[in-house]
Amino acid sequence: MPPPHFSTGPLLPRALARAALVAAAVATGCAPALAYRPFDGTDAAVADLGELEIEMQPAGVQRDSAGKILKAPETVLNFGIVKQWELVLEGQLDTPFAPGGPTSLSESGVFLKHVLREGSLQDKTGPSVATEFGVLLPDLPSDQRVGASIAAIVSQRWDWGTVHLNASAALTRDQNADYFLDAIIEGPAKWKVRPVAEFFYEDEIGAARTLSALVGAIWQVRDNLSFDVGVRHALRAGHPVDELRAGFTIGFPLNSLGGPGRK
């Protein structure tokens, strides 16, 4: 789901590679972050001012009616640019398992995310509310079209767990209207390993409807580092889609403005 900016073309693979190196280099960093992998939806929280949060999937596999695809690397970069504002850059490389299958850049975009109401995710009372909006960049090299999306996110944390609700509307790269409704359920935040689940419905008008369910777990190694795994099954236009996701999230301050974490 949700969506974020960078230049397309040969710069992106290099940027993804740099992101992987940075993530490895700062694995002992000191600023907290919460994972928002392995979901399609997101939470009503942003990176603190001066913080960089990297969400990385080194390898993932998707199987559908067209065959198997290696989805790697899949990268999201979250920058805390102003208090309660985040700049999000994302993209992934898709490589078919079929011999000679071309690698393509997909799911890339640039977004702004803003916390409209501070709540339980910011250690305050009541629901946290956020919005995210931006541009869907072209799928390269085969498509030069762009799209746009806007989303509303509501999150509430209790002792027993956390729920995040997403609703978004988009103009896809194929120039179709698209609607997305999503619910994420997490186990207690105090657990070192917490179970997670996600369910969403998406309707790309004139193209396909998707029903999706994901189950998995997040291992919170420390405040600024977590690992995740998820198994997803979906029906898109009546055809099954199965996917395995595994990755990590790490956060660290870029300068002296770095704050205490993703809130």
State the CATH number of the domain containing residue 235. 2.40.160.40
Q: How many CB atoms lie within 10 A of CB 192?
A: 9
In percent, the amount of the chain with pLDDT more than 70 equals: 84
Is 214 inside any structural domain?
Answer: yes
Q: Using pLDDT thresholds of 50, 70 and 90, give the confidence band for residue 15.
A: very low
Report the DSSP beta bridge partners of residue 91. 75
- Is 1 within a domain? no
- b/e per residue 134-161 (b: at least 16 CB within 10 A): bebbbbbeeeeebbbbbbbbbbbbeeeb
Is the pLDDT score of 217 beyond 60?
yes
Q: Is residue 233 part of a domain?
A: yes
pLDDT at 57 over 80: yes
Mean pLDDT for the stretch of residues 220-238: 95
For the chain, what is the radius of gyration of the CA atoms?
17
Task: Establish if 5 belongs to a structural domain.
Answer: no
pLDDT of residue 101: 77
In 3D space, the residue among 21, 117, 28, 29 whose CA is nearest the CA of residue 73 turns out to be 21
Q: What is the band of 38 on the pLDDT scale with cuts at 50, 70, 90?
A: very high
CA neighbor of 119 nearest in space, from 128, 107, 132: 128
Total count of domains within the chain: 1
The total of other beta-carbon atoms located within 10 Å of residue 175's CB is 10
Nearest to 75 by CA among 52, 55, 95, 104: 55
Q: Is position 161 within any domain?
A: yes
Is 25's pLDDT higher than 50?
no
